[in-house]
Structure 1
Amino acid sequence: MAVDPPLVVQPLRRRSCAECRRGPLDMVVLEHGSAYCLDCADLGHLVFLPRGDAALTRRSREASSLWAVVVRHNRRRTRYERQGLLVEEAALARAEASCLADADARARRRAREAVRRAARDEEFAAAFAAEILRLFPYCPRARARAIAAHASLRGSGRVGRSAAGRALDEGAVTAAVRAAVRHLDTEYDALLMSGVPRNRARARVADAIARVLARWS
């Protein structure tokens, strides 16, 4: 049966070890409501590997007989987020050598994957633009392409990247068009900059948006 690895916390406030009293500590292990330093928690021989290199992290973890997950609490998101691992120094050295040996091959693979992702993104943006033109046949084609590119940008969190957006749901596509019109064809942004609350600003430009959408329909 798989066992969860030890959990190490990067504390947001000053903590001292409940056993040796050393502090303040950059990393602690929490046990029964008390904080312990890595040495007292028998993890002091491990070294910190920050997150960011997936291959190095995976290989270091596989080569290390003992490893721990390092997390830090994100107050804004109200959750703990992974910061990296603690691994054996020898395991990290072996992983670094292994990654260095096949660095060129991995770089070529990443380049191929980037090309494939770009092609898929381009196809999706074209499909999104086509759906805009189906719903709003009098929308200028260049404008439809611009709206689609903006809404479907990978990693943007915009409506085009939502599940509904990827499914080309009519409501999601319309929402993307409405947002574009709100920002580019009305005084909405200027109202926000002048201190008008968002809900009131939206109400003030609602008729202008409706007129543009009616013209495009």
Structure 2
Amino acid sequence: MATAALPASPSPPPRYGLLVVQPLRRKHCAGCRRGPLSMLILEDAAPRCLDCADLGHLVFLPRGDTALTRRSQEESGLSAVVVRFNRRKSRYERQGVLVEEAGLRRAEERCLADAEARRRRRVRDAGRRAAQDLRFAEAFAAEILRLFPRCPQDRAQGIAAHASLRGSGRVGRSAAGRALAEGPVVSAVVASVRHLDTPYDRLLMSGVPRHEARRRIAADVEARLRMWRDGSVA
């Protein structure tokens, strides 16, 4: 059986090994002509159903339970990762795995056996991450106040909490943001001023294109930054 290859995409998907695709468009098997297919594997750029690809005996385990997924793959002699293309993000994203039914059953038994220990570990890890996030937000707010000493403290704290939210993908969670580089810190302040201190959001809601809306409020943003930076209003 040939190794699955994915169609060309703006960002090549990560290498998971044996891949099964959930297609966005209607696809039929190049072998048995069955379709439309909810899952397929690509062999020599041609879609094949799971039965034709000798994967029809596997069961689908959706993503969400990391321990169960990992153990199911450990317990299965054959498994495949299921991915789907996200148009908005221009990348393939993992949706779950295909594993042997017996392997899934053994994995479920293993997870039941140590469920309480894993629950306690999750609680400890959550507490540790919360403490880390609090320290980082405090450091981010302190850097805002260093760059903009006349920014109200509660506003700096609010900006920092928003920009540094874990899992948000916001500027504070970027590598440069976590390093407290000046660029991401200033960007977070600018974004806050834009949305809270100018008519930017109203302009967008009225149909003004984003770039034009930013042009119209640029002077207001700069005036607020200048006031927070050195107290001048001219």
TM-score (norm 2): 0.85
Query: What is the one-letter code of the residue matched to 2:109?
Result: A
2:62 to 50, 61, 64: 50
Query: What is the one-letter code of the residue matched to 2:42?
Result: L
Match of 1:108 in 2: 120
Tell me the distance in 2 between the aligned counterparts of 1:173 and 1:16: 50
- SS at 1:23 equivalent: coil
Match of 1:149 in 2: 161
Structure 1: stretches of 5+ with no match in the other structure? none
Offset from partner CA, 1:124-170 (integer Å, 9 cap, x none): 11111111111111111111111111111111121111122111112
- SS at 1:168 equivalent: coil
> What is the CA-CA distance between 1:5 and the residue it aligns to?
4.2
TM-score (norm 1): 0.91
1:89–1:161 CA distance, 2 compared to 1 (3 A): same
Query: What is the one-letter code of the residue matched to 1:55?
Result: A
Match of 1:167 in 2: 179
- SS at 2:47 equivalent: strand
Match of 2:97 in 1: 85
Work out whether 1:73 is the aligned partner of 2:88: no
Offset from partner CA, 1:86-134 (integer Å, 9 cap, x none): 1111110000011111111111111111111110110011111111111
> What is the CA-CA distance between 1:29 and the residue it aligns to?
2.2
Structure 2: stretches of 5+ with no match in the other structure? 4-15, 230-234
Query: What is the one-letter code of the residue matched to 2:206?
Result: S
> What is the CA-CA distance between 1:196 and the residue it aligns to?
1.7
Query: What is the one-letter code of the residue matched to 1:50?
Result: P
Cα RMSD, aligned residues only: 1.8
Tell me the distance in 2 between the aligned counterparts of 1:120 and 1:99: 28
Match of 2:28 in 1: 16
- SS at 2:151 equivalent: coil
> What is the CA-CA distance between 1:14 and the residue it aligns to?
2.9
Match of 1:61 in 2: 73
Name which of structure 1's ranges 202-211 and 142-151 shifts more when overlaid on structure 2: 202-211
1:196 to 208, 219, 230: 208
Task: Name the % identity.
Answer: 71
Match of 1:27 in 2: 39
Work out whether 1:37 is the aligned partner of 2:49: yes
Instruction: Give the count of matched residue pairs.
Output: 215
8 Å contact from structure 1 (residues 10, 70) kept in 2: yes
1:63–1:142 CA distance, 2 compared to 1 (3 A): same
